[in-house]
Structure 1
């Protein structure tokens, strides 16, 4: 594993392995646990890593071996109902109690010195927030990498069903802990059936074909889109960050499906006065742990050494470090977001994007969206291998996609912070979604997505309504000679489930109605205006 990446710090110790330990969960179910440790005399802190994805590749080498070699005990545990552990898995209901039960078990280990840290990505971040709801006194540091704290927002954020993400999450939760070969077979099956499943009428229950059987928790989760529904009570662990005083390092990528949740975590921790740091790279959810692993590992190790070992020598001097797209550089900031520096851009006739605000709200352009031939998703914040920055030519050639493009820039334009669209639109049926995307167009005409977002439109048929579309955050430099492009459509399928155009839930719709969407001139794109950007996590 060490040979996979260049630039990892030198090994300090040989690592030992004690597999198959049994730790009682809160209800007494056996939680199968592996213990990695430095083969040396001495007093070493402990890292707790709890996973629903098994304890093999990549978790064993990346967290067990690499951190044991750096002088940590690593406790790698399969969550309840996964990886050989007893009981039944649930997406959120058991993690706080089971984490506390594991810490109680740790207190009885002769090698546990009372200094505890947590680390891990994605759902392995969720279980860290679960422990942080009522942190034990031993918890001295957390490292949350591309981490989750609100499963409802992951599946239903922005007022739409995140269809492809829901299927990929269910794939991982159902099959990854069973081993590499079963997981690869399950992944190939999902790829084969993805188009059929995501276009099924109705969507409800159609995933069983692609996932190899029913997934009861997924059926339940998809059936409750309302954030106020009692079903989700206790699912969001946002309150943990609002009162936490455990030093916490946060790591994400601009194209991570959980980037907005990470940035929201950072804001809450800062408001709580918690010692925190933020690293944002040019990564997707998965590439942060692949191409980005040398930076992610070094950042994580420095934080853990500082707060568990009393060695702050590896910490960077600023609280925030982020990658700036467009010129492929890194920038250090004292905080995030920076002071508002954005100036609105406005769509104009002829597909132009200007700094000049409109004089009226007259109709500017329109397009027809047909749910039977949905506008496809391309790149962006996804869990799949198609995530990230992509050439948008296939999208922009479609008749159901509007584009507004600036003149070539005479000097570079930096966008640092949240991006938001305010759209004035009318829909002939009264029901639609609007998808808004910021793109960088180079001298050759290649249009590359920077950030985006989607919001539903519900208004009286044909009546103009103002819709705010949060488009995530970015740090991007538009070079001189490049052009800024605003792309507007009515969806991104299968990233988001199709809006049927009838007002019916996409989960149950069997009838689809094409819609005509009219964009009015009193629309605007705000780049880097943090005061306009709502907390999305």
Structure 2
């Protein structure tokens, strides 16, 4: 086994510009070694997966298989995941500490992590961000400043940051492994679809993991998948079994397609916090405040911090700047496998406002546990009370009888997404904080809804994969 560190983690570092060339240089070095057998495979999570995608832009003929875990292929999308210039500040700070210090030795790396924890609140709450971050990262970092001062995808700074086109050129079998609360899940699924369009047959596993808990909680499944993939495609022994495995609640499902065929169901927002299936939407509107001086915090879901994953959202929902819409207790089980969408009609008092929307499973004891969520940033270009579509990320979940389905709406999730200053000032230099009043309209002329093309009615115990597809197709 050969482990190659990213260039510059102990010195002059750049997030993506050297990966493709360095990967090719390593392969060229391998070819010159007497012990090289003439074939190799690659494996690795996160940044190591980006290195694999970079190699795939010009696949070497000796390459036989790739195992990509919690795989990142587009660093712009990672830093600005909603495509509207809302920066993933938590990710940038934590990843920055890792990238900038992991090559400096264990002691210095741990001290850097402790410094980040100690100064994190000041870093994410201080203004301007161009100054406040420095205490958390131990001084000025040009790389971090470039990330926050280049918010637009078409900026030349981000040229080459997206290694996604490798999926069109890959010549080796790919294993993709992710988690329901992995911050790179959407990227993994986009590459899965792109590989399929290119004629490849990748395998896909989605477990109950976050980006950082993969090897702790999913050790047995993840290593078994990797060993099987390498045994089949590197050593030429046997065949791969299941192509798609998705963890739903407490059981693994084997699927023939992602997402599986299903019956769409719409839930409408109604007055007094009701979420109603079918029928007409309710009357009136719901308002919520958002104060950047006390921003709605990021909690649970696709984070890198200790609160990542599925959590009890009761404390978050007790805040005055969070609104919820909830169904009556379900009489039969209901599942969602795929990507649900929230369609809202919204307006903001300053013209600059955000919408964070989360789907929760409310247990009979009252615990609201997050399933998936989505975010979008609005500007004055958005027409007041016009429709806003917010994809809530991929999900695989079964709502049991007696549970309730809840849609949670708020004005942000800081610092997962940088707070909205309410002014439109540039992120790096903004200093003025203006509170916003956001209104979600749910009258007959503005029928907001939670919509999922992958919902399905289910009664009784989980069905096998073949039965499930028949059941979905036949459900009215």
Same fold (TM over 0.5): yes
Partner of 1:268: 194
SS in 2 for 1:454: strand
* 1:137 aligns to 2:61 (yes or no): yes
Say whether 1:525 aligns with 2:450. Answer: yes
Post-superposition CA distance 1:188-243 (Å, at most 9, x none) = 11111111110111112422211112221121122111111111111101100123
Structure 2 CA distance for partners of 1:457 and 1:116, relative to 1, 3 Å: same
- Deviation of 1:513 after TM superposition, in Å, equals 0.9
Change (3 A) 1:461 1:474: closer
Residues 14, 143 of structure 2: 8 Å contact kept: yes
Aligned counterpart for 2:417 among listed residues 496, 518, 521: 496
Q: Is the 8 A contact 1:369 1:514 kept in 2?
A: yes
Which of 409, 425, 428 matches 1:507?
Answer: 428
Give the Cα separation in 2 of the matches to 1:460 and 1:104.
51
SS in 2 for 1:463: coil
Equivalent residue, structure 1, for 2:392: 471
Counterpart residue number, 2:254 = 332
User: Which residue, 192, 216, 233 being the options, matches 1:307?
Assistant: 233
Displacement of 1:177:
2.6
Q: Which residue of 2 aligns with 1:342?
A: 264
Does the 8 Å contact 1:427/1:461 carry over to 2? no
Q: 1:456 aligns with which of 354, 364, 377?
A: 377
Which secondary structure does the structure 2 equivalent of 1:154 belong to? helix
Alignment equivalent of 2:278, drawn from 356, 366, 369: 356
Query: Considering only aligned residues, what root-mean-square deviation do their CA atoms show, in Å?
Result: 1.6
Asked if structure 1 preserves the Cα contact closer than 8 Å seen for 2:148 and 2:427, the reply is: no
Distance 2:133 2:382 in 1: 33
Cα deviation digits, residues 294-337 of structure 1 (max 9, x gap): 21111011001100101135x32x31101002xx1100001211
Residue 5 of structure 2: aligned partner: 78
Structure 1 segment 169-208 matched on structure 2, within 5 A: 169-208=95-134
Instruction: Using the TM superposition, give the Cα deviation of residue 357 of structure 1 relative to its aligned residue in structure 2, in angstroms.
Output: 4.5
1: CA distance, partners of 2:422 / 2:253: 44
Equivalent residues, number: 449
Ranked by relative contact order (alpha carbons within 8 Å, sequence separation 6 or more), the top structure is 2
The answer (yes or no) to whether the contact 1:143–1:300 under 8 Å persists in 2 is yes
1:205–1:219: 8 Å Cα contact kept in structure 2? no
| 1:36-71: CA deviation from partner (whole Å, max 9, x where unpaired) | xxxxxxxxxxxxxxxxxxxxxxxxxxxxxxxxxxxx
| TM-score normalized with structure 2 length | 0.91
* Runs (5+) with no aligned partner, structure 2: 456-476
Q: Give the corresponding residue for 1:277.
A: 203
Offset at 1:461? Answer: 8.9
Displacement after TM superposition at 1:462 (Å): 8.5
Q: CA separation in 2, counterparts of 1:418 and 1:231? A: 31
Structure 1 CA distance, aligned partners of 2:383 and 2:151? 27
Inter-partner Cα distance in structure 1 for 2:264 and 2:39: 44
How many angstroms does 1:451 deviate by? 0.5
The reply to whether residue 155 of structure 1 matches residue 79 of structure 2 is yes
User: In structure 2, what is the Cα distance between the partners aligned to 1:210 and 1:385?
Assistant: 18
Q: CA deviation at 1:274?
A: 1.1
Q: 1:297 aligns with which of 223, 228, 238?
A: 223
* 1:40 counterpart residue number: none
Change beyond 3 A, Cα 1:77–1:441? same
Question: How far, CA to CA, are the matches of 2:354 and 2:331 in structure 1?
Answer: 35
Q: Is the 8 A contact 2:149 2:427 kept in 1?
A: no
